[in-house]
Structure 1
Amino acid sequence: MEGAWIAFTLAAAGLQAVRTAAQRAVAQRLSPDAGNFARFVFGLPVAIAYLLALAASGRALPLPGIEAIAIVGLGALCQVLATRALILAVTSANFGTGVAFSKTDVVQAAAFEALVLQSYLGPLAVLGVVCATLGVMMMSVRKGERLLGALLTGWTQEAALWGLAAGAGYAVSGVCYRAAALALGGGPLEAAATALALALMLQTFGLSLWLSLREPGSVMRVLRDVRVSGVAGIAGGLGSLCWFSALALQPVAYVRTLGLIELVFSLAISLFVFRERPGAFEYAGLCVLAAGIAVLLLSG
């Protein structure tokens, strides 16, 4: 399945941009935790349907052991916290800025993956990651700001801090999900589908309990709001399916760096849906980001 991870990642990036925009709408109408819950509760049926389809096709599904369940549980918790931080980032300032800072997960994932899985990047791949991350930072510079000053101080903004926190959570969860897929064994698609279904079950149960205690009535409001919440959940479920499949096939840093292409979709959503005009640095950063992704892909 050489090269399949690229197709999975590109599909995941597009779906994630749609999911983030829909979650923003849910969070503004209800709450950040409700927006988070929508992503998981409507995504769970997608994961279960895919798992059943694999089983019906005759594929052998792995049975999760204690180790795999624990790893998935940690990844699921980090993903919930990261998604909440991302929602706070995109609702506290410019949509594109919030998403941009969350993409520092690429560098954080590379470091965490090297520490935990002893999976190291080559020099050319490191160059691609650094270049892509610089492009992301350039895209966060607002109109009228100086590039150097914004790069040095931009991370102190509220949206940037929430974005950085989201990036850390996504970095840890990505490495956990890859570790879980490797621990489950079997075919990569089967391992990815099993890990995803398990993660979404844990996330849906945990968040429904949390909302019942903290925001009574929110669960039912999300379930009734199918038009927006359903879009967030279904796009999130399909996107997660693609992410998990890519992570089962390729190291996290490669997948997350290519996944930065999501910013192209986010920029389009920011422009055409939220009517937020991109600045010159956003377009320049997009070019640097594209160069970084190209270098990473050329590195193998």
Structure 2
Amino acid sequence: METSDATCIRMEEAMVLVRGTRLLAGAVVVACMVLVGPSAPSDALFGRSVPVDAVRDVVPNRVMTWNICNPCEAGNVGRAAEIATYAPQVIGLQEACVRDVEMIRDYLKSLHGLEYHVEYGTVLRDWGRCGGAPWNPGAFGQAVLSAAPMKDAVKVEYPDGGSEDRGYMAVTTMVGGQPLRVFNTHLAQRRQEAVRADQTRVLAADVARHDRAIVLGDFNAVPDASELAPIWALAADTDPECRPLSVGACKTTTDWQSKFDYVFLRGIAPLRHRVQSTPFSDHDLLHTDVDPAFSAGP
């Protein structure tokens, strides 16, 4: 007999086939509650409950970056609840499987009433990470969800990904009522500094073409790492206290107490930011509110 957890996962996947149907979402919730049983903690099914002071609608000038961790034993219901708590206009996800992103988007709509468009920057097809049939594995990489439509999407695979294919993506979408170019990247893994240096040069060349841009991502490097110099020359971190030489001033964003996740702003002023720990990933959520009407230099 199939386990209750496996059945819930199958029901979760089935929701993708009926996008945006609140009735189906409710049926899944009720069915899984019956299968899991009343003894299970309330967050076993839903992940972290959305707090009472959570944002109720999309915040038009808020952007977020989050490495959602893969492979990790984390449910997409919980991931969606974390995003819905802060309801950013734009979300950049890393280590994202297409199927997971589809489920997250469905849950954001059906359970939280938040509708997002999605673009993918997947660069790897990996059965081990993303499931699927061995001859048709799931796609893995980056994704951007935006409350506004996106255009001019590009996907670039770095010439050298290091130990795993890596790349960046870019879209043009609305943030704070202004059209902005938004980049999302995931650089090579730790202890691959030379590879990341080549990657940041590729990324910086594209960012430099835009007077105003937001660069999201997991850079796998601390602020004073030499390989980040091309990005620092073009943009500033959303935290005005965080700079390459600001020892101890940059808030960490990972379970191992390093700052690897950034919202770099080029020609855009930051207003406020927050790093929020989460049980669903080894990376924290990082979101920031910006004012596109005012410029800020690197």
User: Higher strand fraction: Structure 1 or Structure 2?
Assistant: 2
User: Higher helix fraction: Structure 1 or Structure 2?
Assistant: 1
TM-score normalised per structure 2: 0.21
The answer to which structure, 1 or 2, has the higher relative contact order (CA under 8 A, 6+ apart) is 1
TM-score normalised per structure 1: 0.21
